[in-house]
Structure 1
Amino acid sequence: MVSAAPALYRVTVGHVRTVPWRYALRHRTYMWLVDPDRPPRLPLPLRPLAGFDARDHFAGDRPTIRAGLDAFLAGRGVDLRGGPVVMLTHARVLGYVFNPLTLYWCHTPDGAPRCVVAEVHNTYGGRHCYLLETDAAGRASTDKEFYVSPFFPVDGRYRMRLPAPGDRLDLTVQLERDGGRPFTATVRGTRREVRTRTLLGLALRRPWSTLAVSAAIRLHGIRLHLRGLPVQPRPHDRPTHPENVS
């Protein structure tokens, strides 16, 4: 089972498109691994650098992030019976947060893996969650059900590799359409203990980290559109009650 002790991951996020031509980007940032039952509460001077708010996840109407997760799972017939969960996410930094992907590794009370929940946010304010049954290597697949990139319609299937984080983080999400894989996203990183010096160093190197992620997505979208990639119509976003970039 993954340790519930808070940790920081210095990560590189990569996106590769292969249709209609190859386009790749890399973005460096950092993410938190926390217990959604008990997210870390930093000393007062550091709190603007890391906040974890239940309003930023699931329907946003539960008192805690874990309560939101349990409500989502209950709606799908899953009861962890209080089993431990670890969450990989961006924290709210200087009052702003954008989480393209938050992952929850869920366990039974004896620590055995039960499922993974992938919570996806788009830049239009929508959010959606996928309940995933993973194999021993962390592999899972699911139909795409949520509009994320303006250049892909809501069709196809995701194939994911989401092994539980350890000293290294190594995640892959691929979109399959029409027999090919036009999009691949990766998250690679190394674990760091949560120390004041570590957090300050990451925050200084990546100021406004979550705002930078949101801005980078929009900037690359503009570049792709200027190169002639057509925008796909956006369906009406579904509500964010218990229920997911490419």
Structure 2
Amino acid sequence: MHERLRPVASRFVYPLFCVRVDLDRLDDAGNRWFGIDCRRPLSLRLCDYGPRDGSPLAPWLRALLADAGLPADGAIWLQTIPRLFGHAFNPVSFWFCHDRAGALRAVLAEVNNTFGESHRYLLAAPGAGAIGADTMLSSRKVFHVSPFLGVEGCYAFRFRETATTSFVGIDHHDRAGVVLRTSIGGRLAPLTAARARRLVLCSPFNALAVLARIHWQALRLWWRRVPFHRKPAPPQAALSRSEEAQP
């Protein structure tokens, strides 16, 4: 869901599916319809994430967490839009980082724009405490995503999860308050071969549809004369920390 509040109101909701994989158990994640670094109708390629060199992702992220003083001894799950017949576009992927007891202690939001650039926001609660349903995490916006929003203000993140559902909310705040609300929510289910086959047959343009809808909404905003922002140079640092800003 995307909801723009000003200078014109615009809201749209569309269906989407993501996959979530345990980075320590990638060898167990595959079936006839889904695989890691192999040819399947649905797939993930390690070179699309993190250091983008195809190297194992779990050691890379645990080193990043340790460098930030965050627990790095629990499960790490990557939630992302899979490649569909080799094609994908991920506006944002989330890495859910837990401690040994199973508590969520950090989230890495890896954001991609349509210009082939990416940036990572490392989110943690004050004092590196556990992240719960009522925890608000924020980080200053430093990365260009939409030409109809300036690189200013901050993002406010919320993560809520039950045994069967997942929800991520992201609000963009500028000087005047909330300007954009976005969310990704859905039901959690095991990615069996049968379910993967059904997803491929029922949503054959999953990732490409995301890209098409982004450009369609951009055209509508341009037609309604929403101010246009030229793309600035990407930030020098590839990583931002959540302590940098509060909404």
TM-score, L = length of structure 2: 0.84
Partner of 1:124: 115
Q: Secondary structure of the equivalent of 1:116? A: strand
- The residue type paired with residue 133 of structure 1 is A
Number of equivalent positions: 230
Residue 154 of structure 1: how far off its partner (Å):
0.9
Partner of 1:36: 23
Partner of 2:204: 207
Q: Secondary structure of the equivalent of 1:193? A: coil
Cα distance in 2 between the residues matched to 1:67 and 1:224:
42
Q: Is the 8 A contact 2:31 2:192 kept in 1?
A: no
Q: Deviations over 1:113-166 (max 9, x none)?
A: 321111111111111111111442242111111111111111111111112463
Q: From 196, 221, 234, give the equivalent of 1:224.
A: 221
Gaps of 5+ in 1: 1-13
Runs of 4+ in 1 over 6 A off after TM superposition: none
Of structures 1 and 2, the one scoring higher in RCO (CA 8 A, sep 6+) is 1
Gaps of 5+ in 2: 126-130, 242-247
**Cα separation, partners in 2 of 1:32 and 1:240, compared to 1, 3 Å:** farther
Cα distance in 1 between the residues matched to 2:229 and 2:121:
22
Partner of 2:41: 49
Partner of 2:132: 136
Cα distance in 2 between the residues matched to 1:45 and 1:183:
34
Q: Within 5 Å, which residues of 2 pair with 1:1-246?
A: 14-39=1-26, 40-43=29-32, 47-78=39-70, 80-81=72-73, 83-134=74-125, 135-137=131-133, 138-164=135-161, 166-238=163-235
Q: Secondary structure of the equivalent of 1:63? A: coil
Q: Is the 8 A contact 2:157 2:171 kept in 1?
A: yes
Residue 50 of structure 1: how far off its partner (Å):
2.0
More off after superposition, 60-69 vs 182-191? 60-69
Q: Secondary structure of the equivalent of 1:28? A: coil
Residue 171 of structure 1: how far off its partner (Å):
1.6
**Cα separation, partners in 2 of 1:33 and 1:231, compared to 1, 3 Å:** same
Q: Secondary structure of the equivalent of 2:232? A: coil
- The residue type paired with residue 176 of structure 1 is H
Partner of 2:245: none
RMSD: 2.3
Q: Deviations over 1:88-121 (max 9, x none)?
A: 1111111112111111111223323321111111
Q: Secondary structure of the equivalent of 2:83? A: coil
**Cα separation, partners in 2 of 1:144 and 1:243, compared to 1, 3 Å:** closer
